[in-house]
Amino acid sequence: MSSLWTERAFSFTIPVELFPNVLERVRGTPARLEELLGPLPREVLTRRDGDRWSMQEHAGHLLDLEALELQRMDDYEAGREVLTPADMSNRKTHEARYNERALADILHAFRAERGELVRRLEALGEAAAGQSALHPRLQQPMRVIDLAFFTAEHDDHHLARISELIRLFVK
């Protein structure tokens, strides 16, 4: 399996009844991120592995994507047939200079934004979790529950990379 997110394939078959379970994964990411990064010194948090993102930049990237997730919630609520596409160049993350920011600010902002996403997912509830729209990159239908699962998987992709960097840089 490739470690590149863009090469992952998805088969969205999660039963809608598992929406509360998937929602808990989405809800738990801020705490998991804080637990991973909180005890680390700034020089480790901002250290890059070659030209790849630092741990702090990964955290910032997760924050950046919350706006897309909220826009996609708007898409579902408006009954749009196609979800808002992601900026696959990650321009926002590359330009944000997250290594120059305080980690606490990034984590606080991510927790607040993720809280809004969770609130909106909860408001839609299990009854609407089967509502579907086309995911533009994957070119397949994505239900609300699938969006939550996709978000949790993307979170875990970056948390796993952060854990890999911790193993690499923290002796």
- Which domains, from first to last, does the chain contain? 5-169 (1.20.120.450)
- pLDDT tens across 127-159, in order? 899 999 999 999 999 999 999 999 999 999 999
Res 1: pLDDT: 34
- CA atoms of 56 and 47, how far apart (whole Å): 9
Query: pLDDT at residue 18 above 70?
Result: yes
List all residues 6 or more positions away from 60 whose beta carbon is below 8 Å from its beta carbon.
93, 96, 98, 101, 106
Query: pLDDT at residue 110 above 80?
Result: yes
Res 153: pLDDT: 96
Q: Give percent of the chain above pLDDT 90.
A: 89
- pLDDT tens across 36-83, in order? 999 999 999 999 999 999 999 999 999 999 999 999 999 999 999 999
Q: Is the dihedral of CA 148, 68, 135, 126 positive or negative?
A: positive
What separation, in Å, do the N-terminal and C-terminal C-alpha atoms of the chain show? 28
CB contact at 8 A, 95 and 3: no
